Amino acid sequence: MIGQGRWRGFLFLAGGVGCFLLASFLLWTFSGHFSDDGPTTEAGPSLGVRSREVQAELVAAPLQEEEWVVYVTGAVVRPGVYNLPAGSRVYQLVEKSGGLTDEADAESINLAAKLADGIHVHVPKKGEAKVPVQGFVAQENQKKGSFLDSTSTGLIDINKASKEDLERLPGIGPKTAEAIITYRESHGPFRRVEDLLQVKGIGPKKLEAVRNLITVGSP
């Protein structure tokens, strides 16, 4: 019995030594195979938090201000096309175009009148005939100091307009105005606005710039 107890104790001791050696071998084998740098990814905010952040960014983003494009001719220092904030008045357009010239008929205009997108503003000179256009007209022909709109008689009839009247249209210079007159004299009156595309110097872009400022009346 004593011999068997010693033999059993020897087996337990041998097994323990074997387990220790196996554990040491495994530890040595896998040592250095795994970095201890920690996790490589970082948890982001939850969906709810991110949604609130996006909403805050949208609220903080400035709203794009609406602009009007206005064409001014006549007795101003720098006639041309200008971008102005929606709701602007005539005096703001005059200031942006350099102010009135010494030849301007200041009494025939209403500087407090409200502008509109795409309007043509003409500042008459002293002694200039008060020809209604889509813009300034003589004060006696104005109603409450307002502008003529696209449905009024302020539209320029390309079948009757003079060279000077045609030059008031955006993008229409002396040569193009003469070409319009020459075309209608050679081919007869324009039947529709789109017929202007047949005139040399007028393309689709220029036609769109003047479309709301002109009309085709009887010859």
Provide the pLDDT confidence category of residue 135 given band limits of 50, 70 and 90. very low
CATH topology for 156-219 is DNA polymerase; domain 1 (1.10.150)
At 157, the amino acid letter reads D
- Look at residue 10 and tell me whether its pLDDT is greater than 50: yes
Q: What's the gap between Cα 8 and its chain centre? A: 93
At 143, the amino acid letter reads K
Which SS3 state, helix, strand or coil, does residue 74 take? strand
Residue 32 vs residue 198, higher pLDDT: 198
- Look at residue 78 and tell me whether its pLDDT is greater than 60: yes
Alpha-carbon span 53 to 44, nearest angstrom: 12
Taking alpha carbons only, the member of 181, 145, 141 closest to residue 165 is 181
Alpha-carbon span 134 to 168, nearest angstrom: 10
Mean pLDDT of 156-169: 88
**pTM given for the model:** 0.39
* 3-state SS track over 142-199: CCCCCCCCCCCCCCEECCCCCHHHHCCCCCCCHHHHHHHHHHHHHHCCCCCHHHHHHC
Alpha-carbon span 215 to 171, nearest angstrom: 17
- Summarize pLDDT for 52-71 with one digit per residue, the tens: 665 656 555 445 568 888 88
- Look at residue 115 and tell me whether its pLDDT is greater than 80: yes
- Please state the domain extents for the chain: 55-154, 156-219
pLDDT at 153: 42
pLDDT at 119: 84
Q: Name the region of 168 (left: φ>0; alpha: ψ -120 to 50; beta: rest).
A: alpha
Mean pLDDT of the chain: 75
